[in-house]
């Protein structure tokens, strides 16, 4: 293994509270050369835009393993953090100043964190280039957006041809109880024993547990190193920094492309208990599956948790029934307190996916046939005006109502943990979410339950709502 550091590091105190380290880091099997144009866009911190994005994502990666789910607080905790590309004839290095000391062991950066750091560099640069390839009209075209998602996943080597469907996407909260976390590990273990690989949002809690369990299952079956894929985006990476098990990391440009990356590259989804972010993901997938063009497309979807989470999922099921109806409820299976049954059901579902894609001559590695409408693809800016103007009425087609409900929960996530959302709430007050009483009643009840169960913030954090429901 090559050294990840040159002998230029030293530890010091930051504001008397947070230990930091300065270091120069060399790439490890990741992006190690840049064009002069790419380097120039990152060399100067004064240029704003791209550097600011790279800096915030890099800091989140370096803070991996620390308990924090507030993007604004992270940036304020390390105000002097800086990162600079050093361009040399033989390649590049990264100079970091004021980095969290937890990313280092005996003055050397942890190997996995170094890999994640260069993955950030790779994806930030690639995404900025891809966006310039699309005209303003193309960015609104569903095919062009899907193509951009494909290219980002391929550039990150997430896409692998000639491999049978075996990627299970696991969704769930970063703020879950110990019992729920242990259950996610048991499910991951059972899936690992059956040769299934794991993809999550890459953070802690329900995103880490399945990966941790799968590592043991893979090891027992002597399958070698499994795939533990983490898909994130800049706005949420501080709240859900990559956990150390992730060995394939990709940073998508926004939440909509992140969600599309999940459903295009994954072959089935397991949902564990969570909060507003998990509800957003559920609504996204159900809205897509409710589209008439996707009615015959197999996509195994399982809601699962320990016995203690039964009431949680019954509440989710009731919410879906009241807002989206019985057809939406028919698209998922609920399995409580039976990890082996979850894994067996998922293996059966994978078989259906494989047969369908083989019969329809679709790729195993990317779900091209899945119809994703523009209202699920176009980025939603959770401004106060946009949140207030969401149409939440029962007469909407169910897939359109799901899209707008997804946006409402996306705004709540932004107000909870994203730097821009937190600052918007501080400046302009609470988001107002308006709609028909038959929709807003179940929304209000679900969000209130999330608050009562402590699912809106990490344990020990005091949650202050960023929204108010107006019926």
Same structural domain, 39 and 176: no
| Listed residues 316, 331, 359: the one ending a domain | 359
Does 368 reside within a domain? no
Assess whether pLDDT exceeds 80 at residue 39: no
1 lies in some domain: no
Do the Cβ atoms of 123 and 158 come closer than 8 Å? no
Q: Is the pLDDT of residue 310 over 90?
A: yes
Give the model's confidence band at 460: pLDDT under 50 very low, under 70 low, under 90 confident, else very high.
low
What interhelical angle do 398-417 and 419-428 show, nearest 10? 80
pLDDT (tens digit per residue) in 267-297: 999 999 998 889 999 999 999 999 999 999 9
Instruction: Indicate if 297 and 390 belong to the same structural domain.
Output: no
Q: Where are the alpha helices (DSSP H) in 134-241?
A: 142-155, 178-193, 209-220
Q: How many structural domains are present in the chain? A: 3
pLDDT score recorded for residue 139: 61
Regarding whether 278 and 157 lie in a shared domain, the answer is yes
Give a yes or no: residue 310 inside a domain.
yes
Task: Provide the domain limits for residue 49.
Answer: 10-133
One domain for residues 148 and 284: yes
Q: Is 133's pLDDT higher than 70?
A: no
Same domain, 176 and 308: yes
Look-up: residue for tokens 């998602």?
Answer: 149
Q: What is the pLDDT of residue 16?
A: 47
Tokens representing 194?
């059956």
Write the CB contacts of 113 (distance below 8 Å, at least 6 apart in sequence). Answer: 61, 62, 64, 103, 244
Q: In this predicted structure, what is the pLDDT of residue 127? A: 79
Same domain? For 216 and 155 the reply is yes
**Integer CA distances (angstroms), 400 to 103, 290, 437, in order:** 43, 9, 18
193 and 321 housed in the same domain: yes
- Please state whether beta strands 108-109 and 104-105 pair in parallel, antiparallel, or not at all (unpaired): antiparallel
Q: Rounded CA gap, 324 and 451, in Å?
A: 23
Structure confidence at residue 4 (pLDDT):
43
* C-alpha R_g of the chain: 22
Buried-exposed string 234-264: b where 16+ CB fall within 10 A, e elsewhere: bbbbbbbbbbbbbbbbbbbbbbbbbbbbbbb
Between residues 14 and 460, the one the model is more confident about? 460
Please report, for the domain that includes residue 174, its CATH number. 3.40.50.450
- 90-121 residue pLDDT tens: 667 889 998 988 899 988 999 999 999 989 98
The CATH number of the domain holding residue 64 is 3.30.1850.10
Q: Is the same domain home to 40 and 149? A: no
Confirm if 321 and 172 have CB atoms less than 8 A apart.
Answer: no
- The predicted pLDDT at position 444 comes to 92
In this structure, the number of other CB atoms found within 10 A of the CB of residue 53 comes to 17
CB 208 within 8 A of CB 358: no
The larger pLDDT score, comparing residue 134 to residue 379, is at 379
Do 217 and 172 belong together in one domain?
Answer: yes
User: What is the end-to-end Cα distance of the chain in Å, rounded?
Assistant: 60
Same domain (yes/no): 312, 205: yes
| 3 within domain boundaries | no
Choosing from 77, 101, 133, the residue where a domain stops is: 133
pLDDT tens, residue by residue, 357-390: 999 999 999 999 999 999 999 989 999 999 999 9
Q: How many CB atoms lie within 10 A of CB 209?
A: 28
| Residue 51 domain flag | yes
Phi, then psi, of 467 in degrees rounded to 5: -145, 165
Same structural domain, 223 and 276: yes
Residue 139 included in any domain = no
Q: What is the pLDDT of residue 27?
A: 78
Say whether both 206 and 267 belong to one domain.
yes
Q: HSE-up of 8 (CA within 13 Å, CB side)?
A: 11
Asked whether the beta carbons of 223 and 186 are under 8 A apart, the reply is no
201-238 pLDDT, tens digit each:
998 899 999 999 999 999 999 998 899 999 999 888 87
Domain's final residue, options 312, 328, 359: 359
């Amino acid at each position: 293994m090559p050294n990840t550091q040159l002998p230029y590091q030293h530890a010091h105190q930051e504001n008397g509270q947070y230990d930091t380290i300065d270091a120069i880091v060399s790439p490890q099997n990741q992006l190690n050369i840049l064009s002069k144009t790419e380097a120039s866009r990152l060399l100067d911190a004064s240029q704003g835009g791209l550097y600011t994005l790279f800096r915030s994502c890099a800091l989140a990666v370096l803070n991996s393993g620390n308990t924090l789910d507030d993007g604004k607080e992270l940036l304020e905790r390390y105000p002097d953090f800086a990162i600079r590309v050093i361009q040399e004839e033989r390649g590049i290095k990264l100079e970091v100043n004021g980095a969290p000391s937890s990313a280092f062991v005996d003055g050397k950066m942890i190997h996995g964190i170094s890999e994640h750091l260069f993955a950030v560099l790779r994806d930030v640069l690639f995404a900025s280039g891809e966006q310039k390839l699309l005209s303003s009209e193309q960015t609104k075209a569903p095919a062009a957006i899907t193509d951009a998602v494909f290219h980002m996943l391929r550039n990150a080597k997430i896409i692998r041809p000639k491999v049978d469907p075996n990627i299970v996407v696991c969704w769930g909260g970063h703020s879950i109880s110990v019992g729920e976390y242990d259950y996610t590990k048991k499910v991951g273990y059972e899936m690992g024993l059956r040769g299934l690989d794991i993809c999550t949002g890459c953070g802690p809690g329900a995103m880490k547990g399945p990966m941790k369990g799968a590592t043991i299952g893979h090891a027992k079956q002597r399958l070698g190193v499994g795939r533990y894929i983490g898909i994130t985006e800049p706005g949420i990476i501080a709240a859900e920094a990559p956990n150390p098990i992730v060995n394939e990391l990709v940073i998508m440009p926004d939440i909509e492309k992140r969600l599309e990356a999940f459903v295009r590259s994954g072959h089935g989804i397991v949902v564990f208990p969570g909060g507003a972010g998990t509800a957003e993901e559920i609504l996204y997938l159900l809205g897509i599956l409710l589209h008439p063009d996707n009615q015959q497309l197999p996509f195994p979807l399982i809601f699962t948790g320990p016995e203690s989470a039964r009431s949680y999922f019954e509440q989710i099921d009731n919410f879906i029934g009241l807002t989206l109806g019985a057809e939406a409820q028919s698209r998922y299976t609920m399995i409580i307190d039976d990890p082996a049954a979850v894994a067996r059901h998922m293996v059966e579902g994978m078989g259906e996916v494989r047969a369908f894609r083989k019969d329809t001559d679709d790729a195993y590695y990317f779900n091209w046939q899945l119809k994703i409408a523009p209202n699920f693809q176009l980025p939603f800016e959770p401004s106060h005006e946009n949140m207030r103007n969401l149409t939440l009425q029962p007469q909407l087609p169910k897939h359109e109502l799901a899209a707008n409900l997804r946006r409402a929960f996306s705004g709540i996530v932004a107000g909870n943990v994203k730097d821009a959302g937190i600052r918007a709430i501080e400046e302009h007050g609470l988001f107002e979410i308006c709609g028909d009483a038959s929709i807003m009643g179940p929304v209000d009840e679900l969000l209130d339950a999330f608050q009562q169960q402590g699912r809106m913030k990490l344990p020990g954090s005091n949650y202050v709502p960023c929204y108010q429901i107006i019926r």
